[in-house]
Structures are given as structure tokens and as C-alpha cells.
A and B are shown apart, each in its own frame.
Chain A
């Protein structure tokens, strides 16, 4: 009984990756598109995120790299005339856009049917008041706040809700006058204070220390419901679920509790009228069976992606089918292929999700975690004990941890305080507290984390202590070794506990491994089969564990497997683009008749969709685990150049362990990675690079700078907090920055490089075959060098590059490819000033821009590279293929609004969380589409300009003239105002926060009188809370578009002044020829 009137559907994507909305929507969108295709329905996708798998050939029939906003979506609807629209697969972005289209009557106007959950149901769950009302109708408890205006009413509300309660002063910023009250006396005391801040006070039941539990529910149009998975937060309520360690299934709920919440979830989903997938979050009392519903997400979410990966149940795929009118009983379980999709997965393992933060990349941001999400990625670890899953997970997050123990000791002044006020280091604070004799009970009191979790962590600490009591490997007996491995200890951890730091770490790992294998302590491979082995399943979804005696897999031993190492947790600098590369490599491998084997552990990715490969190991990308898998698979080869830096860093060690690495050799990779070797090679080849030195004393640093002059780029080997490198323009800045470095010494040298200003930065992405470049893409940064290439706006093909520059770049690249005998993908970054070319970096792997250039060029560089690596004959593309009549622009997405207090200024360290890539007939059009895609809007009227130093003021003058010509009103601070007026550009003077006088720039922002802020910081290091910071931060907090770079500001202003919105071409990818 499916809807046969639907022949063409439109799917809204989620746009650039940002905090709270990341790769999970590439996975869910891809699944939905696959489901539609299977039905023979034509699919149209709008998503400007060019690095995603869903925007690749063969997934959707037509792809529009356009902003997911009502304006553009309507234009596409008008052009394509689809019958159905899918809103649930592109996160909050798609959902909000869908609701807007509904409210504006556009869906009705084009007779467009929303497939799946109706818009009314979405609105019922999104609007707080409506939501509470709907839950009241079915006697389900939600979190309510009572607004009161005097103490008596507050007391009455509190006795109705039950103590403890929270008081919040309404309309008071920063939580002034808020707090917890355990009894009426405390309420009277705090209430008086609260009413002094605000005439209205909100009284809410305090759920401090409650558990947070989620259910993923699926419902079809026949009212059949299942809960696919439940999950429990390790951290108590108050820490955003995106910031919490999460386990699935729940661990501390009894049968009665589990099914109580399950029944409630189903009751809610039925009442709201979801068709498809939905997530219900509960607060659950740890001391009774009391509960509150926190929220309901009427769409695919981060949790649903996690649940899909945790159970093997493809939620998005099923949800899409249900949207077409299928019943759950009509669909098959995609793992067993014989049983129906109407069932609830039974797990026989435990999964542990751990967030990945990158807070050290931002200036000024608070490291405390709480009710808003700051993490940029996550990992999922699978084990058959909690200890095993957690320790695997802590290694997977890739921030130097070896597990729960055996890490570099973190300095903590006050452990009690650190336990009470969690930061991104929370789990390691617990480790430290346990080793310092804190009892699990005490930790539970301070953190409110359930005792069960802490006791499990204590098990790890006890085993670590038993290991540490030994002094040589030979003393380690098989029982203790097995116990440690069952608790997820790595060979490295075991080695470090026993041998301390007596031998070289790499050597130690090899020794422990040899010893362990000698004792016959080996991991086994288990399948994820959705039914806990009840039915036979030919599933290829696998993990390794030491809690077992037999493997589920029988290997072929035919040498026909090729292993691709994935990219791990999304983080700043490595995200969906490497997943695209990995997936494309897998596809190429399989097309050529090899068995494609994937290792990755990021639940937000498409590469960890078990449909994408012949075998998926959802497991660690550590040396130890990759070797374990290679021992089992005996592969023909391993590809390490697709997953970014994590696999790249394993090159030398894997090679030494005789793992067959495909493509460029480990020695060549080391030659490019090792600064000294690379430099020597460039010198030999006569290729220029910015002057640099590795220095070990302040004297040497000063004398080197006397040679090259300021500014310089400074990279200490160890930094306590803040950015890992910085540009210093004078002695003061240099000293200030180096103070942050723990020390400058022989053991901890500092690398100082000449920093060339006002130089162009150019990317060279290419594929070489045995040292010969066979395909390449040159792209240019719009910003001058100094903005990290991951943050820069990039255009391809280059529009303002001298032909001579391009020629020289090609020549240099060829020399390097030949010298390093590159076979596979590589990327070189160049600086160009006039026609003077310098090499700044060379990576013998796929780079962040590979999907962008591949898609703009319409030559899949990864496919070519993979063929080269697997030894297939490759014909280089025709020369004419590189000649394009259109322009692609890649722009960066920032998530500063999520990162309270962070300064939104860009520098040499990357800060963006995602990117988009749009295509236009010229630069203006492409820039405009790209900027609108990352959240900028064409300003209405007023523009605030503070234009930096003299040189930057000059750079910006043309754009300001253009603004004036187009009747924009420019408001400028002191120096900028004078400069503009002196040059004949009309402007209004506004004042810095430190100045007196009206109008105040800050006030205008608060009153939302400004539509665009152009704020160019004068230098690149000033970190204190100065005027510029306050303006920039206010712009972010009030959601006013801000640009901090003159070149980008000019490009954007030029684009929107010259290109009215209505002139933007609504063209799909295949229409650019």
C-alpha cells in the first residue's frame, strides 16, 4: 500500500558540518536516498556540503550545491516539480527549513507531500508549550516551569512540583539569581534575591543527578511501533547528551524501568503521530521510578545514527521506506535478510560513545561542559565488557590517551572541584581521583555518575595496579594478561605499567605483542547481527574482543582483501572529506574485484555503513589493532592514504611490521613528514621554502629572527594550553607566546619559520603513478597566507593566478612527485608572491580538498589514486578536462555561537568545523552561494566596519566604495571612519566600547541595527578581551554575520553588490559542463 503517486522526491541535506550537526546526516541522507532509489523514485538532493558521500555520483539523481534555505529550496521545487519532500534526514537545518516552507504555504502551493512524519507533528515537538500540552493529554510527565511573581506563588509551585526545585530569574542574563532550593526556607531566601533581579521567577523541579536515558522509536503508518535501541548517559542530567559518554543498551535499569520508559516512548510517538523515526529523551530518578520527558526529536538525529551503528538496524533507511507508506512488517531486517524489520535488536555486546572536543583550538572558550554542546565529533567503541569498550573508546578519541590508565598525568589543582565541575577532561580526572585513593562512593557523590560505572572504572585501576606491581614482562602470567586484555588494556598500556618508561615506546609495544602471542592471548572477531546469534546471519559487521574464545568469521586466506584505514573521530581539521575519500577508495577496490575491508570507528560516517564494504571492522585504528586485523585478513595490501593523518602516521611502523602498504612507500611518507629530511630534499631539488630552524634556546631564536625578520611562525613542541602555533609580529608577542610553551630546550625544541605576508596560498591536489603526475587540481585561497588552509575560502579553478605561477607550481610538483616516487594521492601547499614560489607543506595522502576539486573537476581523483595503488592501468585524463567554464568556491563553516566566549578570529590554527562547496558561472556567483550556504545573509542596510591596520584599510577601500554606491550605510570606528571619509566614502562614526560617545558600536549590535560586521583585527596574537573582541563576540552572540578577513570581506561584498539574489542560477551539478 505504498504511495505510487510519488515519482520524484526532494531531500534536504544539513549543509556544512557544525557543532551539533555533523556527519551523521551524511549517513542518514545517503541511506534515505538509497531507499528511494531502490523504489525507482527519482531523487533530488539539496546540500551545499560538497565533501559528503551523499553529494557523490550515483547516490541522488540530481544534486544542487545550494543553501538549504526556503528561498533556494523553493526555487529548486519550482524547477524540479517533485511530488514528495523528505525533511527528517538533514538535521535541524532541514527540519527548520521544512517548517518554514510549510508555514509560508510553499509546500501547498507546489502540492508537495511531506513523506513521513507530518509537519504538524514536527511543530508539536518543537514548540515547548505545545509539546507539554500534548504530553499532558496522555498523562506523560514533562519538565514544566511555573512562572510566578511573588514568594507565595513560588512556594505553592514548589510544593506542587516537589523539592528540590530550581529558581530562575526570568530575563536575567548569566543565571543571576538562579539556584537550587531543597526546602521552603531555602526557597524564601533565594526567592527574595531572585525577585530583586526580575519581576518574574521560574520555578522548576530540580532533576540534578537524575539519569538521562534515550529511546529510538520507529512507527509505521499502521501504528506498529518498535524501540530499536535505548541508551544511557554515563554523565548525569545537566550534561548535554552530545557531551556525555553514552552506553547502549542501558546498564543500570531493571527490566521494569526499561520497559516503563519503553512503553512511555511508544505512547508518545503514537500520540504525536510520528511516521518514521523519532528519539525520546528522559530524565530518570536514580532513587525511584519517577521520570520526566526532556524532549522528542521528530527526525533522524545524532543519537539515531549512533543507534543504527550500535545495533546494525538501519534506522534512516527504514524511516525513508516508512515515509513511502510501507509497514514495518513488509520490510526485511537488512542483516539477516530473512527476518522482518519489525523487531527490536538484541545486543550481545556493549557500546560506548565518547565525545571528542577540540577546545584548545579556540581562544577564550571555557572548558567546562554542561547543557550546551561543544564537542566536534565522537567515537563508538564495541566490547563485551564495559571496561573493554570504554578503554577502546578513550584511545579512539585520538587525543593521546592510551586508555583509562597509563596516560601522561594531568595537572589538577583541586580534584574535588574538578570532579564537581566537569570539563572535557572529566574521565581523566576520575582516573586520577581513583588512583589517588578516592573511593567510588566519594566520586559518585561529587559527580553523580552512577556507582555502577565508577565501580567498573575501579576494576581498571585495580588491574593497572596489579600490572604495575610487576617489574618485568616475564613475571606477567597468562591469567593477569587475559584479565587486562578483557578489560581493554592495550599492549602499550600493559607495557607502560610493567616496564614504566624504561624502554622506547615503539619497541615496548612490539615486545608486549610478541609475549602476548607467545602465551596465545589473542582477540576474537565477533559479528553484530541484531539478534544476539539467535539466527544465522551472513553479516560483515565486525568487532574484535578479548571476551570470547571463538571467532564468527572463517577467513579465505586468498590474498584478495584490501584494507582501507578510515579517518577516525571527526575533529577540527579532519572530517567528512576523509570519509568521502575512504568510501570512494572502497568502491573502486570492490569494482576492480578485490574484497574491500574497512577499519573505522566513527558512528557519524558512511564508511562505517556495513553496506559499503565486504567487511567492516568497527574498531581501533591503532598499530596494535590494525596488526591484529592484518594477521587475520592476510590482505593483499593496506591503503593508508585516504583517512587523513591517523593512518598516515602509522606508515613507518606498519611497514616495519611487514604490512604491505599500497601506493607511496613508508620511507617516502617519512621523507615528507620529517621536517629535516624534507627540507634537505627540497634543497637538493632546488625548490624554495620559507626559511625555518629548529631552535633550542631563546638566544638562537632571537638571532634567527634577526636574520629573517618579524613576523615569524612559532611552533613549540609542547604547549600547556591554547593554540599549538602562532604568528608573532614583535618581541612582546614572541615572549608572551613562548611563556605558554612549557620550556624551550634540547628535548623540547621550537620551530621558528619565516612568515611571508601578503602572499597567495595555493593548493596542489594530485595523483601520481610511480612518480609521474597523472591528474592534478590547482586551487587558490581567497585569503592571503596566514589563514589556515582549513579555514580559508578556496576557489577552483584559480581565477587570479598568473599563468607563469601555475606553470612553476606544476613543475615543482612534478619534481617532488618524482623524487618521492609518489604512487597515489598527494597534496602540496605553496606560497606565491609575484612569481616567487615556496613550498610550505607536502602530504603524501589525500587532502581535505580532494572531494571538492574532484567534484568540481568531475574527475574522481580518489578513484584514479586507488587504481594506481591497486596496480591497475590508468589512463591520465585528457588535458582539456582541466579547462572549466565555471568556478567552484569552498567556504568554511564556523561554530563560534556554540562556543561561548571564543574569539571568532582566524589564524594559523584551524577553527572551522565544516565547509561547503558551491559552483557558479563566475567567482561572484560561486562566492555568494557558498557564503549564503555557511549562514551569511545579504545584508539589509547597515554595515559596521573596523578595518585594521593601514594596509588592510587600503585593501578594503574598494569594497566600501561599492557598498556606498549600492546605498548601504557604513558605520565605522575611529580610524576606519577617518580613512573612509578622507577617501570620499560616506560613513557614520561609531564608538568602541572603551570610548565614550554615541552611537556605541556595541549598542547598535545589541539592538540588531547592524546587518553585517566587518572587523579586521590589527594583529594576529592579541588575546586579551579588547575592543575588537567585544564587537566580534557580540556579533556572534546576536547572530549577526561577521567577517574578520579583508580579502574575504571584499570578495563577499563584491559578490552581493554585483549579483542580486534573483540572478543566481538554480543549476544542478550535472548542468555545469
Chain B
């Protein structure tokens, strides 16, 4: 009988997960062996860890995956096509740490080239497995997202924990210079990069006759020649993005089509005079139901945000476009001119359901 341990918890190094001040739980270290601290958030998606981990919106956060079995299909190759990573949502892992229940040491998939463990090691991202992710989710649900840290055996608990709210996460993940993609002869879309996911680029470029001009978050693009503005998703608190809001307001005056997603929804709302607030524990899942306001049409959407637009503060020229069917929060808005609209969810999916991808076509038609 072969006695070799390819699994044994016994050979694994223990690690502790600290959550807030009062809660600590034992698990096992995997990925990079080091400390990780950040805001702990949960996501209830059952697939899509390569996409989630590289989503810039997770900047500053430690992700707790509620689905217990993770790592099953490994990690695909890092390759790019037309300047965009083919298999990931950005060029690197953005989460600061990963919390899971059951790690799959062996993976199986034709597209995989390495294990999740290896990948985390490459990017020096600590992980912890063997913890009760449901219980952690319940704590976050009751007490709200909170700072936490992963501390492997032999490491000290840091005195203060990193608080992503203390700095502008958008500035960290946004591109540092203007990048152009796609067809230079096509319609020009300025993409205000607050931490854009690659699939947004792919969705905008799919038709083949669009040029995307990706600009840093605080770049004044109003001096450029363009046909439409796209405001991307991004991490953290929209309050830090005053510069972007002012630039968007200028663009609105130019009456060119504007489409925003997630952070883009919040910034457009702010540009229109509305305010945002922090949700207790955010929406992070693949199963958020939204309804197109005034209709019987509903969509299942992918979401990842901790802040939301306060629908009551929308100005007279604005109306809600989508509403969350679970908690009634705003999921999108539309200017009465019909020129500007935005959604809080992720029509580009990746990961998640693709039901609302048609919104990109809608935007492109407006150009």
C-alpha cells in the first residue's frame, strides 16, 4: 500500500486568521509563507478564483471565498494578446490574502499550468485554508467588513492592521500613462481607468471598430478627441476620486455618451450631485438579482463593491436604471438626456453570469 502524503494537514504549517480584535481561528498556511493584512471581505461565487484574485477592485483586501473547494482547476497560463492578458483580469494578483476552506492540492484542467499554491507563491500572496469560511462570513455579515490578518506559525501578529480606506486604492491600481488599444481608425472611447478589469477592455474591443484610450484615473481627458467616455470599476472609497469626478463633470458638459461600471457608477453619480455610502458588508457574488426599473425584466449579475450610490440623493435630471432586488440598493442610473448611464454590477462578468453583456452594445451604438 502506498504510504505517501499528498494531502496530510499534518505536514502543513499552521496559520492563524485574526479578524478584528476578538476573533482568531486556526488553519493551515498555503501560498506564500508570510503575513497578510487588509480588509477582510467575502465572496459567495462558486467559480472564478483566477479572475477574482486578479480583479483590481480587491486592492487592499483579503478575500474569503465561501465556496469551500478551491483550486480544483489550477491556474492558466499568463499570456497576452493585443496587450491584454488572456486569462486574467489584470497583470497581477490584487488581493492581499486568500481565505478558503478546502484547498485542492491536485488540480485538473487542460488549460492549467500551475497550482493555485504556486501562483500565490509567485506573487507573494499568503493564503490560509482549513478554516470555517461560513462562520467568517457570518461574522462579516453581522459586524461588517473588518480588518484582519493571516499569520503563519513563527510570525508575529502586526500591531496595526492595514486599512485600505486610509489611502486612495484607485491611484494604486490605475495605469500610470495613456495606453491605446484596438482599431486606430475606429470610434474613440476614453476609458477612465480606476482599476479596470481586462474583460471590460475585451467587451469594448470585441466589435473590432473601436479604439480604447485608457487613461489614468486623474487624467484630464477632456483635451483629447473622443466619441464616448467609459468609467471603469475600481477599488475602495469613491471619496478619494474628486479629480476624476471633476473631469467627468466636464465631459458631461460636452454631452458625449458616458457609460460607467461599478466605481464608474459611483463616480458618475457623484458627478451628477448624488452621494455614496459604505455598505455593511458589500455585494460580492455571482447571484445578485437586479431589476430594470419600471419593467418586468430582471437579470442575475456579478458584483464586487463595498460602496453604493444613495438613490435618494439623485438629482432631478437623473433616474435609477437598475435596483437590487435583495436589498433595494441602487444598481445603476441614467441621465434623462439618455446620454449617460452607469451600472453598479459587472456586465463584463468574468467572473460570473454574462446576462447583461448587451449593455456594451448599447453604449457602442450610442457613439
Interfacial residues, chain A to chain B (CB-CB below 8 A): 222-226, 249-256, 258-259, 262-263, 266, 286-288, 327-329, 339-340, 342-350, 384-386, 435, 437, 440, 450-452, 455-456, 458-459, 461-463, 465-466, 468-469, 479-480, 482-483, 486, 524, 526, 531-536, 547-550, 552
Q: Which chain B residues in 1-42 approach chain A with CB under 8 Å? A: 1-10, 25, 42
**CB <8 Å contact, B137 and A532:** yes
**CB <8 Å contact, A349 and B286:** no
**CB <8 Å contact, B138 and A533:** yes
- Answer yes or no: B233 CB below 8 A from chain A CBs: no
User: Bound state CA distance, A450 and B297, in angstroms?
Assistant: 39
**CB <8 Å contact, B44 and A531:** yes
**CB <8 Å contact, B296 and A469:** no
User: Bound state CA distance, A1001 and B167, in angstroms?
Assistant: 90
Q: Which chain B residues in 236-263 approach chain A with CB under 8 Å? A: none
Known: A255-B51, A288-B110. A462 touches B6 (CB 8 A): yes
- Answer yes or no: B366 CB below 8 A from chain A CBs: no
CB-CB under 8 A from A482, the residues of chain B are 9
Question: Out of B42, B48, B76, B132, which one reaches A550, CB within 8 Å?
Answer: B132
Question: Out of B7, B68, B325, which one reaches A349, CB within 8 Å?
Answer: B68
**CB <8 Å contact, B3 and A462:** yes
**B285-300 interface bits toward A, Cβ cutoff 8 Å, 1 = contact, 0 = none:** 1111101000011101
CB-CB under 8 A from B66, the residues of chain A are 346, 348, 532-534
User: Bound state CA distance, A350 and B70, in angstroms?
Assistant: 12
User: Bound state CA distance, A480 and B285, in angstroms?
Assistant: 34
Contacts A288-B110, A452-B108 aside, 13 further interface pairs with beta carbons under 8 A come to A224-B296, A249-B46, A252-B109, A259-B354, A329-B298, A344-B287, A346-B66, A437-B2, A452-B104, A455-B104, A483-B9, A532-B66, A548-B134
Known: A253-B47, A347-B46. A259 touches B69 (CB 8 A): no
Binds A, one of B180-188, B306-314, B330-338, B345-353: B345-353
CB-CB under 8 A from A222, the residues of chain B are 296-297
- Answer yes or no: B226 CB below 8 A from chain A CBs: no
- Answer yes or no: B111 CB below 8 A from chain A CBs: yes
CB-CB under 8 A from A385, the residues of chain B are 68-69, 101-102
User: Bound state CA distance, A200 and B35, in angstroms?
Assistant: 69
- Answer yes or no: B72 CB below 8 A from chain A CBs: yes
Which of chain B's residues has its CB closest to A329's CB?
B298
**B103-114 interface bits toward A, Cβ cutoff 8 Å, 1 = contact, 0 = none:** 011111111000
CB-CB under 8 A from A536, the residues of chain B are 141
**B59-77 interface bits toward A, Cβ cutoff 8 Å, 1 = contact, 0 = none:** 0000000111100110010
Known: A340-B289, A548-B135. A450 touches B325 (CB 8 A): no
Known: A327-B296, A329-B325. A462 touches B141 (CB 8 A): no
**CB <8 Å contact, B1 and A435:** yes
15 A/B residue pairs, CB under 8 Å, sorted by A = A259-B351, A339-B326, A340-B289, A342-B298, A344-B287, A349-B68, A385-B68, A386-B69, A440-B106, A455-B104, A458-B6, A459-B7, A483-B8, A549-B131, A550-B132
CB-CB under 8 A from A455, the residues of chain B are 6, 104-106, 108
User: Bound state CA distance, A266 and B131, in angstroms?
Assistant: 36
CB-CB under 8 A from A552, the residues of chain B are 134, 138
CB-CB under 8 A from B47, the residues of chain A are 249-250, 253-255, 258-259
**CB <8 Å contact, B72 and A459:** no
Give B54 Cβ to nearest chain A Cβ, in Å. 12
**CB <8 Å contact, A547 and B101:** yes
Q: Which chain B residues in 95-150 approach chain A with CB under 8 Å? A: 101-102, 104-111, 131-135, 137-138, 141
CB-CB under 8 A from B107, the residues of chain A are 452
User: Bound state CA distance, A223 and B298, in angstroms?
Assistant: 9
**CB <8 Å contact, B287 and A345:** yes
User: Bound state CA distance, A468 and B106, in angstroms?
Assistant: 23
CB-CB under 8 A from A384, the residues of chain B are 68, 101-102
Give B128 Cβ to nearest chain A Cβ, in Å. 13
**CB <8 Å contact, A465 and B8:** no
- Answer yes or no: B45 CB below 8 A from chain A CBs: yes
**CB <8 Å contact, A255 and B48:** yes
User: Bound state CA distance, A560 and B326, in angstroms?
Assistant: 35
**CB <8 Å contact, B141 and A550:** no
Question: Out of A328, A456, A459, A534, which one reaches B298, CB within 8 Å?
Answer: A328
Question: Out of A255, A339, A466, which one reaches B5, CB within 8 Å?
Answer: A466
**CB <8 Å contact, B108 and A252:** yes
User: Bound state CA distance, A466 and B296, in angstroms?
Assistant: 58
